[in-house]
């Protein structure tokens, strides 16, 4: 009798769950057929100088029919996480060069950038409803992405989804390819990383240490210098703002010269570095200045995020990059409903062996990096790796 009763309970529970799931699916279909309000972040006007929160505004007046037009080859997505990246500053100004890698954002239109999303409907056979993707999307709750070549399916979900806007997305791959493939590093070489606590820079420093290089980084505050030495494992680090003579500072840390320079700053720092490069040295030019902090314990990559909640806080988060407010990779969280099971893990460091990180990053290779190779300057190989080139505005890191 007890056994029979238990089976009855189990059967009843299974029936209840199946019916509950069925109702949820029906409700989801009803929602997809509806027209909904679509909260968006819009550019107010073209930006001069450093961006301000007032250069953007949030609106809830826009509506969107959650159904793709007949015959569409695009994908309809619900955005989950957005990445705040400094390259977006270039797209906030009026670009007159038609050969530039991307168009300007249009005033009074949603801005866009890298993010993580769930596919609600797809006209592209590569995607289906329920797929998780990362790539270029709008700064809004829902987006219709017609250029589906700019989004990529997420296969590994054993880490928080937001990591695909950071270490497993564009910044991580820029650091990986920029250092390993463009710089061709060797054990024992002397490596200098400017803006070393930035999104790409501090990852490069950890890669260099894992390879057995001597690594020095520069940053803009004492706190960040301490992080470089005490958490990221740098051999040395200095605050460039406290150095009256950058050439002398580099000679102090690199008496025998620099083999590899990972460039994130430009200007006076680059001028000083060029005076200290060794024969056959390499410079990787990278325009990424956003920040996420990693630790470097015992040969593993560790990742930490700075997450703000809500699309309405996205403008402040983006502007904060240029003011040094964020500690960790800056992410805007729009929805957590698909990440609830992983949300507890998001606060923990991600420990990935180097070989595991290599394999994960290689899966999405060839999607991010723009390279200018074989530009020789003073016996130095100058290469570029980024999704954009550095703006003329000064760096703050």
For 355-387, what is each residue's pLDDT tens digit?
455 554 454 343 333 332 333 333 445 554 443
Q: pLDDT value at position 243?
A: 93
Q: Both 226 and 280 in a single domain?
A: yes
Q: Which of 194, 163, 361 minimizes the C-alpha distance to 285?
A: 194
Q: Is residue 377 part of a domain?
A: yes
The CATH number given to whatever domain includes residue 328 is: 3.90.180.10
CATH of the domain at 363: 3.40.50.720
Within this chain, do residues 184 and 254 fall inside the same structural domain, yes or no? yes
Domain extent, residue 272, equals 170-301+350-384
Is 26 within a domain? no
Both 61 and 147 in one domain: the answer is: yes
287 against 247, higher pLDDT: 247
- Distant-in-sequence, close-in-space partners of 122: CB < 8 Å, separation ≥ 6: 68, 74, 75, 76, 128, 129, 131
Residues 268, 216: one domain?
A: yes
**C-alpha 88 chain-centroid distance:** 12
Tell me the pLDDT band of 235, cut-offs 50, 70 and 90.
very high
Note whether residue 6 is domain-resident.
no
Name the nearest CA neighbour of 196 among 156, 223, 168, 173. 223
Residue 14, domain member (yes or no):
no
Q: Which two tokens stand for residue 179?
A: 């250092």
* Pairwise pLDDT comparison (384 vs 183), residue with the higher score: 183
On whether both 317 and 361 belong to a single domain, the answer is no
The beta strand positions in the chain, using DSSP E, are 35-37, 40-43, 56-59, 63-65, 75-83, 112-122, 132-138, 142-145, 151-153, 190-193, 214-219, 236-239, 258-263, 277-285, 300-301, 305-309, 329-333, 352-353, 375-377, 380-384
Residue 123 lies in a domain: yes
CA 283 to chain centre: 22
Cα–chain center distance at 19: 40
Alpha-carbon span 35 to 154, nearest angstrom: 28
Same domain (yes/no): 204, 234: yes
Are 286 and 338 within one domain?
no
Same domain for 126 and 40:
yes
Asked if residue 12 is part of any domain, the answer here is: no
What would the mean pLDDT of 190-218 be, rounded to a whole number? 90
Residue 350: pLDDT above 50? Answer: no
Please give the Cα distance from 216 to 203 (Å, whole number): 13
Inform me whether the pLDDT recorded for 239 exceeds 70.
yes
Question: Which ranges constitute the DSSP H helices of 322-376?
Answer: 340-346, 354-363
380 in the same domain as 317: no
375 in a structural domain: yes
Q: How many domains does the chain have?
A: 2
| Residue 7 located in a structural domain | no
Give the sign of the dihedral formed by CA 111, CA 114, CA 115, CA 119.
positive
Same domain? For 103 and 223 the reply is: no
pLDDT tens digits along 36-61 = 999 999 999 998 888 899 999 999 98
Is residue 357 within 8 A of residue 180, CB to CB? The reply is no
Q: Classify burial at 150, counting beta carbons within 10 Å of its beta carbon; exposed 0-12, middle 13-18, buried 19 or more.
A: middle
Asked whether residue 122 falls in the same domain as residue 86, the answer is: yes
Q: Do 240 and 100 sit in the same domain of this protein?
A: no
């Amino acid at each position: 009798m007890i056994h029979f009763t238990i089976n009855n309970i189990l059967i009843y529970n299974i029936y209840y769950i199946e019916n509950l799931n069925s109702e949820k699916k029906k409700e989801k279909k009803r929602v997809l057929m509806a027209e909904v309000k679509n909260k968006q972040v819009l550019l107010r006007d073209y930006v001069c100088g450093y961006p301000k929160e007032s250069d953007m505004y949030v609106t809830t007046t826009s509506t969107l029919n959650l159904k793709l037009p007949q015959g569409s080859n695009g994908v309809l997505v619900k955005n989950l996480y957005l990445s705040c990246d400094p390259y977006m500053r270039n797209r906030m100004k009026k670009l007159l060069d038609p050969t530039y890698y991307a168009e300007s954002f249009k005033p009074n239109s949603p801005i866009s950038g890298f993010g993580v999303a769930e596919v609600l409907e797809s006209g592209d056979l590569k995607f289906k409803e329920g797929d998780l993707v990362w790539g270029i999307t709008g700064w809004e709750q829902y987006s219709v992405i017609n250029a589906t070549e700019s989004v990529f399916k997420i296969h590994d979900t054993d880490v928080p989804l937001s990591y695909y806007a950071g270490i497993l997305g564009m910044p991580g791959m820029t650091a990986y390819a920029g250092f390993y493939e463009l710089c061709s590093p060797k054990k024992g070489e002397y490596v200098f990383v400017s803006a070393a606590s930035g999104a790409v820079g501090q990852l490069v420093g950890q890669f260099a240490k894992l390879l057995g290089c001597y690594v020095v980084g520069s940053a803009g505050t004492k706190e960040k210098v301490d992080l470089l030495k005490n958490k990221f494992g740098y051999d040395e680090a200095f605050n460039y703002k406290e150095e009256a003579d950058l050439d002398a500072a580099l000679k102090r840390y690199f008496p025998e010269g620099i083999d590899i320079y990972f460039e994130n700053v430009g200007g006076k720092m680059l001028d000083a570095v060029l005076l200290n490069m060794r024969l056959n040295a390499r410079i990787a030019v990278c325009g990424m200045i956003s920040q996420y902090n990693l630790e470097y314990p015992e040969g593993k990559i560790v990742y930490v995020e700075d997450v703000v909640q809500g699309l309405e806080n996205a403008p402040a988060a983006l502007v904060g990059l240029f003011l040094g407010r964020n500690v960790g990779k800056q992410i805007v969280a729009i929805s957590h409903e698909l990440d609830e099971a992983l949300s507890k893990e998001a606060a923990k460091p991600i420990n990935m062996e180097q070989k595991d990180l290599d394999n994960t990053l290689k899966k999405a290779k060839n999607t991010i990096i723009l390279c200018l190779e074989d530009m020789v300057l003073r016996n130095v190989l100058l290469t570029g790796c980024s999704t954009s080139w550095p703006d003329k505005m000064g760096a703050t890191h």
